[in-house]
A and B are shown apart, each in its own frame.
Chain A
């Protein structure tokens, strides 16, 4: 039995690696047709923040010893500029332009997938352990029942058309995603320095991941996703209920047990995390300060990057909804709506954090999905990230409603959006409303996805509680 199982496992592993290699080959093939695919100029792929063409422009300006932010072309980080900039000018004879950058993005994608896989394995281990703790014999017994969610998530990430398009279309979003995933991975492994590094870099690159600090703290404090803590207590209660019905005794016992419960908030890694965060941020700020010293200093940098993101200055069309809104809104309402839109993300943080505090990874997924919906310059790279993370919870979300509808919607919208853009820009028979309609449909789909996944997750928790309550009722 055992060798057979082992061989099966081996086969599955081989299968996984085959698909990974196939995805790399697929990307490399696509990289060789940059002119024909013309992905780098699609508004869905390259936003003002993630476009490599803008980065090359910024680098060019810097080479001419001008401020890279002059002329409102480049709005990214100066670190990225000095990292990727030299690669943009290097050309190899007979090869497509930006080949080196594309290779960097492919590597970033692969690393992303590997990190997602490792995170998934970590999550899964925790999941089976907690199921065992809860004595869910039915669920934990069957080996086939639990899908290797890490592998699934990694493959979903690698083979998602959005990821491929973002990678081949020369947008820097694979690198931004790398920072986010790195921080999640570090937090799951409870390595405070790594998590802090990822978080600082992610925040530095695209600002919105700053809200991930709550899941980070929860992850470091409580550990990875588990069923609600109440369940463990209940479970203990059931066990304790067998003992003589002395209330005080019972209470004391519970206190004793609680100390044994592994899910107590531990402050040490969190404090570590904060120390490291401050260290890394000082480091990053110093580096940035050095590189923009002669171009107006750090304040100019903040104004040109974070200010650009928060005030939505570039109203060129993208798949988000903000560009249209701020193109239409009266100027004197502009500040108000800027606050409303960004406050929207912040308002949702606290309730979600309270409700999902036992599942910090899932909480991180929800935050990423919400911010990629409401951020000022969204691209398909952001969707690629949260869809990949969605794969991590494939066991818990197995009973999600409307999955088929969502799938069809995503396919439909992602096909319709370029068509509408073509009608508007190239044929002249449509107008901006056509394109904005698909952006709205896309936003609606994302909302449905978030709502349904959260409710499926809560249902899953309820389902875990059911046998316990039955057991308790039987006792009573």
Chain B
């Protein structure tokens, strides 16, 4: 939009065109104002945050009295006790504990099935950008020796038609069941047992006991993949060929006499409306029992805000739990943030004294907390790595969160423990009952938002303003540079018509308005180089037996070699021995093209992953605007120019280390075999990083050239 405005300098002077011309002629001032406004708006976001509200009327949270009673608590205690007693026994408890849980489930009359999965190593493949998350599943390399075993129990809803389901997930390590994990299993079991008796259930309930031996995420992801992609006989035969089916099922069946309903096949229960991941930690809290909500899925996706609202509402107003979301601890004690908060507070007071209707001031403490939460929200979204097993659900368009309930003291006291179980169970029952009311799926509330506290959020319409202000200067500056290059041009054209200049100047052959093609070629080359550099890790991964350090060195070497090779292939030379006038014009065009490329990239990124784009814009925009060729500046020795050079170098230095850091991290994660969790998120995050990286490179290159 801004670009189209800015690019119309020569047409008839309509008001909008005149505005465009005005903006272009004052592009320097405009860009400075825009950038500052963008940063200021970003800092103001905690003030602009709105209170959350439950948008979907059908949900009606907390309208019914909880049915969860002490009877269910005793059930939970029973399971916890038998689990802990099992844990004290020697080896082989992996299958034992699974069987125990399955037994308990079948006693409740639920359908039970085991799901065997093989943990797969996350492989980065450059060509998978173009395919959908599921399509890469056919040619995985599975290691047959190790496998995990999920236990799945399904309650069929008395009022449902088996087309919709709600999922409860309790990740636990089957080799060593910790006290927290046992408690989370206990809570889930008690809720499950309650739900077998209720009459109001309209959606089936799936309880997934995820085997987190190979990571919580991997287990949930494997189950989801098999749930959504039915394996037909031909394929399963293929799989059997790869890995000889161990007789786990038979083993389990033989051993347990009581099991009546264990199915060999994979059980399904229709589309999932919601998934809740339940975890329990104990003893870490100082004040009261609290509930932490983790919501960030892969690549900065968030579940629908209504889900968080329900959980928050029920936890705070019904169960009296303290709800927390992730914060950046380091920011809370930050001095300048406190000062800023106080300034804003006093500003709010002034505004309130002027007009009592204006209520935008918030207390300084709230501001600092909000800013810290916002920062962590931005950080986790930008990183693109899910913060828990709920991330796997978002890839299948299922809203999911992780609820981590933690108690104030260690749960040794029995009465205390019962109370804790009661509150946790009631909370989960309430959430399930609310979601049970849902028609179809969550759609009413926001998907794109940032949290500043559990009950406050910044919606997409607000935070986009900050980004738009930050980025708006790019097209204007690009247009003004482009216009500048053409203003220089007529004099050049006159030169050309004189016989001496028109001799064999290669450039004069290209027509006037297509001069930018040359610059575009250069920018394209640099971006191509960036792409090659970011794809290289994949090929380096293939080299067997490589320590992270050596592969990193190989990577750096290869990437630095690839630029001259590319330039050789595409036949563009970088050293033009030209007089300064055309060089300057060339350079202006080059900068203009670079800035437009950066603009397009940032806008794309903001659609894909806002947080990455915002952080990228904060780094890139000043860099793009300040960039100047070093040589020209050094030649003219003035203080002002010198300052500019210093500024540029500092910005370049600032801009480069993050890229290096990110890339280094990416490299180590890739090579060291430490799986980030989600293949897709990893890929996407690498993608986002690399896009930022090669834009950096473009900026970097542009400055250092000539």
Chain A residues close to B by CB (< 8 Å): 33, 35-39, 144-145, 147, 394, 398-405, 407-408, 411-412, 415-416, 419-420, 423, 426-429
Contact = CB atoms under 8 A, between A and B. Distances in A.
Contacts of B127: 33, 36-37
B397 A416 contact: no
Nearest to B129: A36
Contacts of A416: 603-604, 607
Enumerate the 3 nearest inter-chain pairs by beta-carbon distance, A residue then B residue, closest first: A398-B511, A36-B127, A428-B397
A427 B514 CA distance: 40
Nearest to A399: B513
A39 B135 CA distance: 13
Given A416-B604, A420-B607, A398 B514 contact: yes
Nearest to B125: A36
B512 A419 contact: no
Contact of A35 (B3, B135, B513, B604): B135
Interface string B130-150: 111101000000000000000
A405 B3 contact: yes
B457 interface: no
Contacts of B603: 412, 416
Contact of A407 (B125, B520, B607): B520
8 contacts: A33-B127, A35-B131, A35-B135, A36-B131, A147-B509, A401-B513, A405-B3, A419-B608
A429 B448 contact: yes
B211 interface: no
Contacts of A37: 127, 130-131
Interface in B647-684: none
Contacts of B516: 403-404, 407
Contacts of B133: 426
B596 interface: yes
A217 B668 CA distance: 66
Contacts of B514: 398, 403
B135 A38 contact: yes
Contacts of B397: 426-428
Interface string B548-572: 0000000000000000000000000
B132 A38 contact: yes
Interface of B: 3-4, 7, 10, 125, 127-128, 130-133, 135, 301, 397, 447-448, 482, 509, 511-514, 516, 520, 592-593, 596, 600, 603-604, 607-608
A145 B512 contact: no
- From A33, A38, A403, A429, residue with most partner B Cβ within 10 Å: A429
A128 B537 CA distance: 53
| Main secondary structure on B side of the interface with A | helix
Contacts of A401: 10, 513
Contacts of B511: 394, 398-399
Contacts of B130: 36-39
A401 B516 CA distance: 12
Contacts of B600: 408, 411-412, 415
Contacts of B4: 405
A214 to B, nearest CB: 29
Given A401-B10, A420-B607, A38 B482 contact: no
A399 B512 contact: yes
B596 A408 contact: yes
A170 B704 CA distance: 43
A15 B600 CA distance: 32
Contacts of B7: 402, 404-405
Contacts of B596: 404, 408
A394 B512 CA distance: 12
B513 A423 contact: no
A33 B516 CA distance: 34
Contacts of B604: 412, 415-416, 419
A404 B482 contact: yes
B444 to A, nearest CB: 13
Contacts of B447: 428-429
Contacts of A415: 600, 604
- From A147, A398, A405, A420, residue with most partner B Cβ within 10 Å: A405
- From A411, A419, A428, residue with most partner B Cβ within 10 Å: A428
B198 to A, nearest CB: 30
Given A35-B135, A408-B596, A427 B513 contact: no
- From A36, A407, A411, residue with most partner B Cβ within 10 Å: A36
Contacts of B593: 404
B142 to A, nearest CB: 19
A147 B509 CA distance: 8
A82 to B, nearest CB: 32
A419 B513 CA distance: 31
A394 B131 CA distance: 37
A145 B502 CA distance: 11
Contacts of B135: 35, 38
Given A404-B7, A419-B607, A427-B397, 4 more contacts: A403-B513, A405-B4, A415-B600, A416-B604
A38 B301 contact: no
A401 B511 CA distance: 12
A399 B10 CA distance: 13
Nearest to A412: B600
Contacts of B482: 404
A427 B680 CA distance: 13
Contacts of B132: 38, 426
B301 A427 contact: yes
A54 B340 CA distance: 62
A412 B606 CA distance: 13
Contacts of A419: 604, 607-608
Nearest to A39: B130
A50 to B, nearest CB: 19
Contacts of B509: 144-145, 147
A100 to B, nearest CB: 23
A35 B593 CA distance: 34
Nearest to B442: A428
A38 B607 contact: no
A429 B600 CA distance: 21
B680 to A, nearest CB: 11
A426 B10 CA distance: 43
Contacts of A145: 509
Nearest to B460: A429
Contacts of B125: 36
Given A398-B514, A400-B513, A419-B607, A429 B3 contact: no
Contacts of A147: 509
